[in-house]
Structure 1
Amino acid sequence: MKESIKQLRTWASQAKPPNASMYRRAKSMERALNRIKRLEKPRLDAKKMNMELGEGKRVSNRVIEMENVAKGYDYLLFENVNMLIRRGEHVAIIGDNGAGKSTLLKIILGITSVDEGSIKTATNLKVGYLSQHEFESDNNDTLLNTIREKVNVSEGQARHILANFMFYGKDVFRKVKDLSGGEKIRLRWAQIVNTDYNLLVLDEPTNHLDIEAKETIEDALLDYKGSVIAVSHDRYFLNKLFNTTYLLKDEKLERFEGNYDYIKAKGFL
């Protein structure tokens, strides 16, 4: 099985563009192999993130639909933007800093209004949002209280959730405002994983995280059956997870059936 997994990963990386579905198959086989190993030889518990994303309630096929959307402030950010996100589709949005990627996400979330055009969302859509500016700097809540309130669980359940994201013992009484950037991202992921969302909107979801934490998130997203819209500057993350990419450039949004490296190779970046 190890050789089959290795071969799938090789094919996935050599495909033009790299094939995310092959990565998923390889990861599924790898998990099956790990389960067999655990049965044969239980291993000691290691300090690493443990996460599995629930799909949430099923929604209609057309999850997000934008038509001729325009937005600007003192200057135009973008216009004539059209976007269709289908159920279960995972897409990335890329572009230069200041192009309006985060603003586009906020329009999808209903946080920011459009200047022109329209946006429709599926009925029963439940959105999990992870921002690159997660949590206020003056948040005096403890990690324990944050999880209890956001996820609506008991103290024991909250402690278990936090332990899955490497917050142990007295860590749970730390204040959110005292966390590092990576710790805040882990705390937000702890909330997202324990709420059933059918759309994840992710703004730089792997920022400040170590390699193991990034890999855990990547694996969970590869298995996730809901829809994902992600903004990231992490090329490895983009190439591994997304075969559909929107490029926001020169005030326009264009859809490509390919990942970051595919678009770059075509000369659009």
Structure 2
Amino acid sequence: FIHRHHAGQKHRQAKDRERKLAHLEEQLVERPRTARQISLRIPLGTARGKKALTLRDLQIGYDSVLFSCPDLVVDRGERIAIVGENGCGKTSLLKTITVAMPPLRGSAILEHGVKPVVYSQNQEGLHGRETVLDMILSRSTLTIGQARGLLGRFLFSGDDVMKRLRDLSGGERSRVALAILSLVEGNLLLLEEPTNHLDLRSQEILEQALLGYEGTIILVSHDRALLEAVATQVWQVEDGRLRVFRYGFAEYRRRAPTSSKQAKKGSEKPRPRISSPKPKADRYQRKKRQEALAAIEKRIEDAESELAELEKLLAAASGRGDSEEIAELGRRHSSLTEVLEREMRAWEEVADDHAEEGV
């Protein structure tokens, strides 16, 4: 009636009924409640130096080689997406980095002060008889009240915290894993399919938490939205080797025809390319830049070693309760930290960014 007579002879009656209907809707129709959502912050442990991980002559596999890696240095703060077909060895690489699985050859070296934190899609240890509350208490020094407060941020309230891990749904188990992640202070996150079983809003919150994380991230996921939002470089496992693309996932997808198997159809017999000699000035500048980088890296290494020694002295002075020595060592530590930060900025200014690296 309202729609039919809104502009006709009975428009006054239609207008009156419209007001009455609006009043009924206001009184009788329940407004949608604000959806509950998780609250996630990933703590960052102390990080020193510019390097997080070094791969040397590394081969991944069990009885036979799954793939080989180029020699690589991963800088602190990089967010790396590992992509490739199922079964190619992406998870095996994560396990090799954390020493959960030995390499077939070579090494994956965590640099000084690097502490890895692992989020596994299999969520090992979260399928037993313990309750959700017991699991959090066993992984932390929280009181029962604090543990309940933490679990409330991950949508476990009331008797939910007494659920046994083996009885949880996939989404609940993923939220417990995120709660544990929020307790551990590391500086290298190794994440395997972290958005599995999470609702859309929780996925978005995880994405924001990763974007705000200042440590290093190595990520295996089929979630393209997450990869596009987070990754600063892509490692592609294909045909028994790992290739490195030093740009984000969106750019990687845009360039995909020239960086995957499709490119091989027209390039099995490529024409030899004759490169023109570089001007002497270019070679001279490149040499000078390499010398400058080497000098800065040496100063950074010296500063990091001295900081590590100062921290040992500080710990010893704290044990003795020597306040004067603590104050003096603290001043030296602060001054040296400023020197290290200046050298890091200098290194970043001189360093030459490569768009792509491969083998």
Give the TM-score band, short-chain normalised.
0.7 to 0.9
Three-state SS of the structure 2 residue aligned to 1:151 is coil
Q: 1:80 to 1:194 in 2, by over 3 A?
A: closer
The aligned residue for residue 145 of structure 1 is 134
Superposed CA offset, 1:16-35 (max 9, x none)? xxxxxxxxxxxxxxxxxxxx
The aligned residue for residue 89 of structure 2 is 100
**Counterpart of 2:66 in structure 1: which amino acid?**
L
The aligned residue for residue 242 of structure 1 is 231
**Counterpart of 2:214 in structure 1: which amino acid?**
K
**Counterpart of 1:63 in structure 2: which amino acid?**
A
1:127–1:200 contact (8 Å) kept in structure 2: yes
Instruction: Kindly tell me the number of residue pairs found equivalent between the two proteins.
Output: 226
Find the aligned partners of 2:187 and 2:126 in 1 and give their Cα distance. 29
1:82–1:253 contact (8 Å) kept in structure 2: no
Q: Does 1:69 align with 2:77?
A: no
Find the aligned partners of 1:218 and 1:111 in 2 and give their Cα distance. 26
Query: Which structure has the larger Rg?
Result: 2
Question: Higher relative CO (CA 8 A, sep ≥ 6), structure 1 or 2?
Answer: 1
The aligned residue for residue 47 of structure 1 is 36
For structure 2, list consecutive stretches of 5 or more residues without a partner in the other structure. Answer: 1-32, 261-359
The aligned residue for residue 134 of structure 1 is 123
The aligned residue for residue 115 of structure 1 is 104
Find the aligned partners of 1:154 and 1:196 in 2 and give their Cα distance. 18
**Counterpart of 2:49 in structure 1: which amino acid?**
S
80-89 or 92-101, which deviates more: 80-89
The aligned residue for residue 29 of structure 2 is none
The aligned residue for residue 240 of structure 2 is 251
Find the aligned partners of 2:173 and 2:70 in 1 and give their Cα distance. 32
- Which contiguous aligned blocks of 4+ residues in structure 1 show a shift greater than 4 angstroms? none
**Counterpart of 2:119 in structure 1: which amino acid?**
L
**Counterpart of 2:154 in structure 1: which amino acid?**
F
Three-state SS of the structure 1 residue aligned to 2:71 is strand
Equivalent residue runs for 1:196-207 within 5 Å: 196-207=185-196
Find the aligned partners of 2:181 and 2:148 in 1 and give their Cα distance. 16
User: Higher strand proportion, which one?
Assistant: 1
**Counterpart of 1:133 in structure 2: which amino acid?**
N
Find the aligned partners of 2:122 and 2:218 in 1 and give their Cα distance. 17
Q: 1:173 to 1:53 in 2, by over 3 A?
A: same
Percent identity between matched residues is: 33
2:233–2:249 contact (8 Å) kept in structure 1: no
User: Higher helix proportion, which one?
Assistant: 2
